[in-house]
Amino acid sequence: MLLASRFGARSSALRSDAPLSDDQIHRVAPAIFAEAAHGSRSARYSYIPTGSVLHRLREEGFEPFFVCQSRVRRPDRHDFTKHMIRLRHASQINGTEANEIILLNSHDGTSSYQMLAGLFRFVCQNGLVFGDPVADVRVPHKGDVVGRVIEGAYSVLDSFDRVAQSRDAMRDVALDQREAEVFASAALELKYDLTDHPAPVTALQLLQPRRWDDDQADLWSTFNRVQEHLVKGGLDGRSVHGRRQTTRPVHGIDQNVRLNRALWLLAERMHQLKT
């Protein structure tokens, strides 16, 4: 078993090359195993700990490979705040990529159970979130929560065929340099507010490959280069005052999901324009 890795010195996140155990998960995301709902919840709130749902998902063949939880300013919400688990099913792993079901929840009323479709690329250790809302599943905290989450997991699993079709279609679309720059420029606007100031990095920087595998002119490779740079950060740039800076990774759960999905929708829009 390879060692799990944290994301950032203060990040409450953990990823592993092997399924995570409950002990590993609890150390970085205790909210998953909250013993009760936050005190702000009413009697109508049906409390089902995410840990119990995770146990049932494991019984169905879904294993967790990544967990994280939001940082909060109020200490009383630390053990109840929003959290994310990225799970894989044994039937959805190949040599280069793994389809993932992204489970979101909280025990303080800030989130229902949500499941989204995602993909993990082994070559860059990077997780994508697909933008197709058809695959989304939301389960409120009432009624048969566990049963509906299990049902939702299989619904997301069934959506991966559509995702694979979109991915393969993007691989068949070639972009020239001008089109690639247009895509990267539009992507910058998804992360940065460019109303009054320019972005700290350029579109050309987003198009630079981090590895030779992604140095291709097709839409899928272009999307992956841009997505990895924007989400993982690490590019040399300039602040609004001209000082040198390094772009930051997107650690926040909501911000990460929102940016990933917007980039996917941008790539699908570019595909539509090219075909």
pLDDT of residue 132: 59
Q: Label each residue of 49-107 as H, E or C.
A: CHHHHHHHHHHCCEEEEEEEECCCCCHHHCCCCCEEEEEEEHHHECCCEEEEEEEEECC
Asked if 152 and 202 sit in the same domain, the reply is: no
Q: What is the mean pLDDT of residues 182-188?
A: 97
Structural contact between residues 267 and 170, judged by C-beta atoms closer than 8 angstroms: yes
* Residues whose CB is less than 8 angstroms from the CB of residue 53 and which lie 6 or more positions away in sequence, other chains included: 103, 105, 113, 145, 146, 149, 150
Asked if 27 and 86 sit in the same domain, the reply is: yes
Asked if 112 and 231 sit in the same domain, the reply is: no
* Residues whose CB is less than 8 angstroms from the CB of residue 51 and which lie 6 or more positions away in sequence, other chains included: 22, 32, 33
Is 171 contained in some domain? no
- pTM of this structure: 0.81
Taking each helix axis as running N to C, give the angle between helix 50-59 and helix 145-171, from 0 to 180 degrees, rounded to the nearest 10.
70
Domain of 193, in residue numbers: 177-274
Is 14 contained in some domain? yes
Asked if 124 and 213 sit in the same domain, the reply is: no
pLDDT of residue 234: 93
Tokens 């272009």, located at residue = 222
What's the angle, vertex CA 220, arms to CA 214 and CA 226, rounded to 5? Answer: 65
Asked if 129 and 254 sit in the same domain, the reply is: no
Beta partners for residue 66, in sequence order = 15, 86
pLDDT of residue 109: 63
Give the total number of structural domains in the chain: 2
Distance (Å, rounded) from C-alpha 275 to C-alpha 272? 5
Asked if 196 and 248 sit in the same domain, the reply is: yes
Asked if 267 and 205 sit in the same domain, the reply is: yes
Asked if 136 and 194 sit in the same domain, the reply is: no
- Select from 104, 128, 160 the last residue of a domain: 160
Phi, psi of 84 (to 5 degrees): -135, 140
Asked if 270 and 138 sit in the same domain, the reply is: no
- Select from 133, 160, 187 the last residue of a domain: 160
Query: When comparing pLDDT for 36 and 230, which is higher?
Result: 230
Asked if 224 and 145 sit in the same domain, the reply is: no
In a 10 Å sphere around its CB, with 0-12 CB exposed, 13-18 middle and 19+ buried, how is residue 219 labelled?
buried
Is 172 contained in some domain? no
Is 38 contained in some domain? yes
Is 168 contained in some domain? no
Q: What is the mean pLDDT of residues 167-182?
A: 96
pLDDT digits (tens, 9 = 90+) for 115-153: 888 888 776 566 777 765 556 778 877 778 888 888 888
pLDDT digits (tens, 9 = 90+) for 213-269: 889 999 999 999 999 999 999 999 998 888 999 999 888 888 888 899 899 999 999
